[in-house]
Structure 1
Amino acid sequence: MTFIEDTMVNETFKQLNKFFIDGQWVDPVDGGRPHDITNPATGEKSGVLLFGDERDAVQAIQAAHAAFPSYSQASLSKRIELLDRIGDIYERRLEEMARAITLEMGAPLHSLSIPAQAAAGLMHFRVAAAIAREYPFETSAGAARVIKEPVGVCALIAPWNWPMNQVACKLAPALVTGCTVVLKPSQNAPYSSQLLAEILAEAGVPAGVFNMIHGEGSRLGQILASHPLIDMISLTGSTGAGTQVSKAAADTIKRVSLELGGKSANIILDSADLTAAVTHGVLLMMANSGQSCTAPSRMLVPRNKLAAVETIAKAVCAGIKVGDPLAPDTQMGPIANRRQYLKVLELIDTGLKEGGRLVTGGVAMPDTPPNGFYIAPTVFVCPDGKSIIAQEEIFGPVLVIIPYDDERHAIEMANDSIYGLSGYVFGADTADAERVARRLRTGMVHLNGANVDPAAPFGGYKQSGNGREWGAAGIEEFLETKSMFLA
């Protein structure tokens, strides 16, 4: 049985031709415009999504607006209980969620979709509930009472690369703070959000509190961002999409929270364990086929160790199993969609034309399933950080290694970017790495291979966006502050 024929998956997506509005599955107003969903592992059509238009968006917005007065006044304990129920049902259906993610964007089921992609969504519901139990929604300031209240009706626009991570890290804090929501998932990765809507309905989310529409991102994004009944828009996507949304939102002065692109530097200090540092950096870069905004895509290494770094990087890439995302031993699957696949190939060609030295990879892979969007783990060496592939976010399995002369030079190159989402530093110990990390203009820095912490703020500087997600900071994004002056 092929993955597409899996009856569990087909049952889950039986409502793919409908939107979830005001607690019900409804047809698009004008019947919808069909959009094929492609399985990136095979290049074959896996389903058909119906696109909505402005009338569908307005229906969803009006439903969320009508539900806000009641839901915003629900007790915090009731909202936390709702998140707990969502988490319990999500956990029960986690493998279904992982399969949906694999089908829509190609993440390897066993090594990534189950333990990371699907699990991340569950994590955000659990963490938001736990933090809300302790969060100070009311405090004192002198003789005044300071009250944190829900911001209102929120439009959430999510990407295809980490679909449930990026939906849940917005939705969980929105729900627990008392906001109502209109979700626009990626048009290329709708299956996981379709399943999530089922989970929310089963958990008893009140009608109108959660609404979901499908459609073309640029079109519906403009409608959601500009509509006067939307109080906040939270988008994860490209820097270009963030610019468009910000402009559309400006006339109504709504809150805009953006998590955008990245070109994260990974500084390997002279004191670091070279084999451990390079191995970790390469594997992290190639995870999710390089399609992570925080991917360590620029590896900055001491010039006198460049040859050794190249040898290690090439060996690590050779050991990565690329192929069918359903195979138990697959470590890296396909690029998530044809458009991105062609973009990555084009940028690899750009790297070759502008003089980058190819260490390994750089080609589509002939030994993978036919017509799938597979690209070999690719490593370039560039003489400095000025080339296109050293500056532009490629969003594919392409690592650029750049030599530096001294520590100051490394920090200058790391900060020479329009982005500032994440960074990485490897040194002899934590203190050695932290000394350099404090000089990086990024919203996050990983020291000596440390992982993210879901309680810590997630977000970036410069053109990587504004606002923060995750943990208490993520909850605060969905709150307004009211000062109540007492007589």
Structure 2
Amino acid sequence: MKCYTHFYADGRFLECTGAARMALISPSYGTRIGDVVACSAHNVERAVHSARAGFRAWSASSIDERRGALQRLHHELESRAAAATHALAEEMGCPTWLGRLMQLPMPLKGLQFAIEGLEQVGWRETIGNGIVERVPAGVVVAITPWNFPLHQIVAKVAAAIGAGCSVILKPSEVAPGAAQLFMEAVHACDLPVGVVNMVWGAASVGEQLTTHPQVDRISFTGSTDVGRKIMASAAQGLTPVTLELGGKSAAVLLEDADLDAAIPAVVRLGMANSGQACVSQSRLIAPARLVPEIVERLRNAIASWPLGDPLEDATRLGPVATEGQLQRVRRMIGRAQEQGAKLLVGGAQPPAGLGQGWYVQPTLFGDVRPDMEIAQEEVFGPVLALLPYESEQEAADFANATRYGLSGAVWSRDAERAVDFARRMRTGQVVINGAAQNLATPFGGWGLSGFGRENGRFGIEDLLNYRSLHGAA
């Protein structure tokens, strides 16, 4: 049994004294494999005081000092890659191949782009008789999810370090091993005491942090429903928030799309991590006349994603992370059928041979209309909805038919046509013809997907305030 019993403040690991113990459940077997001990209100208060002291010291740091800290953190995190991959497979069901391919490389790239971003920020400019400075905002609360835990932790903590802020991290108790390893890497980096802190806890701990008068910024990644609650809590102190919330991303195949390239990519981006990604391409919008061919290609592509133990290298698709998530995905599959969507692959039944754990069959629906729940709401499971269209305008209308706007994709053999269509999509980012992910560009959403931006210099700038000095020039 693993027990996570310590929070981090004042530059060291300290024992949690909260009464609550949060069970750590194996998603592969549905059995208890450990506990996370919650912080008490006193523990949280200590972390806040630690962060205030850390901010006073770190806000005066030079760009060279911040760069050096991020470089050391990159080295320390890289040395823990194998342990993190194992922890993610064991605690949240991410297959080891995906851990090695994405879960670890993404935060390492994110750190590198934060380092480069330090030189790209316009820290000071002269306007008339004034000097305009960009200065650290203060103490940042970073609340992170379980689906890509290290990536999201790094996106927030690296930006805070780069901006000259201090940070209090509240990671998810669903995947605590990744956060623990991250804090061990931080501890080895020789940062000033109080710059990075971490607490464990459920909603009460989050509420204490988001309403605390000594907190200056809040950055949250998670569900839209929780994002609303955090925004309401932050409003008590008019504390600015960055919210990276849910998504219902569409991949649009234009008439001339290269199906050989597009179909495997769409399936990969819809199924990887068991569909538990805010940018998961869970809607495929395709020309009606090509639907029979596309369905056959999708069946073949999905068949290459076998379910299994995430610790085994041959496994492509592991379980979803929690029992609650399993039940939600199954309910949404059932409602899609009730609303008239045609089940083509998979379904809500447990997969053969995997009766234990939180496994969901990779699932494909056809005959989906834009008004159906399966086309409107985030599933966060390995479920793909196929929506046929008759005209390019209808394709654009379907792509923009949800209240979310986090990511999307478009495929066409004509690059200019693809770019033109991408500009019609109301979303924070669009991937054109399967382009490589660019973590140096700003990441964030529109509508119910939230606001604010992360990554590279944009994440650093999100945590800076302007100060104007009139007469200083």
The TM-score normalised by the length of structure 1 is: 0.94
- What is the letter of the counterpart of residue 422 of structure 1? S
CA deviation map 1:378-436 (0-9, x unaligned): 00013421111111100000000011110001111111111000111111222111111
Are 2:127 and 1:170 equivalent residues in the alignment?
A: no
In 2, distance between residues paired with 1:332 and 1:133?
40
In 2, distance between residues paired with 1:315 and 1:459?
33
Q: CA deviation at 1:280?
A: 1.5
| SS of structure 1 residue aligned to 2:267 | helix
Contact 1:422–1:442 (Cα < 8 Å) also in 2: yes
Residue equivalent to 2:215: 230
| SS of structure 2 residue aligned to 1:297 | strand
| Matched ranges for 1:63-462 at <5 A | 63-109=50-96, 111-216=97-202, 218-462=203-447
In 2, distance between residues paired with 1:383 and 1:44?
36
Contact 1:429–1:448 (Cα < 8 Å) also in 2: no
Gaps of 5+ in 1: 5-12
- What is the letter of the counterpart of residue 384 of structure 1? R
Contact 2:57–2:192 (Cα < 8 Å) also in 1: no
Contact 2:110–2:440 (Cα < 8 Å) also in 1: no
**Worse-superposed segment, 359-368 or 301-310:** 359-368
CA deviation map 1:210-255 (0-9, x unaligned): 1111111x32222211111000000000111111011101121111
Which of 41, 46, 50 is the equivalent residue of 2:28? 41
In 2, distance between residues paired with 1:349 and 1:383?
14
| Matched ranges for 1:40-59 at <5 A | 40-59=27-46
| SS of structure 2 residue aligned to 1:187 | coil
Gaps of 5+ in 2: none
CA deviation map 1:335-354 (0-9, x unaligned): 01111111111111111111
Alpha carbons of structure 1 residues 354 and 337: separation in structure 2 relative to 1, 3 Å: same
Residue equivalent to 1:19: 7
| SS of structure 2 residue aligned to 1:305 | helix
In 2, distance between residues paired with 1:427 and 1:33?
53
In 2, distance between residues paired with 1:422 and 1:239?
15
- What is the letter of the counterpart of residue 159 of structure 1? P
Contact 1:364–1:374 (Cα < 8 Å) also in 2: no
CA deviation map 1:313-338 (0-9, x unaligned): 11111121221111112111110111
Q: CA deviation at 1:135?
A: 2.7
Residue equivalent to 1:28: 16
The TM-score normalised by the length of structure 2 is: 0.97
- What is the letter of the counterpart of residue 187 of structure 1? E
Contact 1:101–1:118 (Cα < 8 Å) also in 2: no
In 1, distance between residues paired with 2:210 and 2:351?
43
- What is the letter of the counterpart of residue 99 of structure 1? H
In 2, distance between residues paired with 1:75 and 1:364?
57
Q: CA deviation at 1:54?
A: 2.7
In 2, distance between residues paired with 1:260 and 1:22?
31
Contact 2:6–2:14 (Cα < 8 Å) also in 1: yes
In 2, distance between residues paired with 1:383 and 1:479?
44
In 1, distance between residues paired with 2:261 and 2:369?
24
- What is the letter of the counterpart of residue 136 of structure 1? G
Contact 1:117–1:164 (Cα < 8 Å) also in 2: yes
In 2, distance between residues paired with 1:467 and 1:74?
25
Contact 1:324–1:368 (Cα < 8 Å) also in 2: no
| SS of structure 2 residue aligned to 1:326 | coil
Q: CA deviation at 1:134?
A: 3.9
- What is the letter of the counterpart of residue 114 of structure 1? R
| SS of structure 1 residue aligned to 2:77 | helix
Aligned length: 472
- What is the letter of the counterpart of residue 106 of structure 1? G
Aligned-pair RMSD on alpha carbons? Answer: 1.5
| SS of structure 1 residue aligned to 2:24 | strand
In 1, distance between residues paired with 2:93 and 2:427?
29
- What is the letter of the counterpart of residue 289 of structure 2? N
In 2, distance between residues paired with 1:208 and 1:379?
48
Q: CA deviation at 1:365?
A: 4.3
In 2, distance between residues paired with 1:318 and 1:363?
17
In 1, distance between residues paired with 2:412 and 2:261?
11
Alpha carbons of structure 1 residues 161 and 353: separation in structure 2 relative to 1, 3 Å: same
| SS of structure 1 residue aligned to 2:119 | helix
| SS of structure 2 residue aligned to 1:235 | strand
- What is the letter of the counterpart of residue 20 of structure 1? Y
Alpha carbons of structure 1 residues 368 and 65: separation in structure 2 relative to 1, 3 Å: farther
In 2, distance between residues paired with 1:141 and 1:101?
49
Contact 2:90–2:311 (Cα < 8 Å) also in 1: no
**Worse-superposed segment, 445-454 or 21-30:** 21-30
Alpha carbons of structure 1 residues 247 and 204: separation in structure 2 relative to 1, 3 Å: same
Q: CA deviation at 1:192?
A: 0.5
CA deviation map 1:424-455 (0-9, x unaligned): 11112221111111111101001111132011
- What is the letter of the counterpart of residue 27 of structure 1? E
Q: CA deviation at 1:368?
A: 4.8
**Worse-superposed segment, 456-465 or 40-49:** 40-49
In 2, distance between residues paired with 1:230 and 1:219?
16
| SS of structure 2 residue aligned to 1:172 | helix
Contact 1:385–1:413 (Cα < 8 Å) also in 2: yes
- What is the letter of the counterpart of residue 64 of structure 1? A
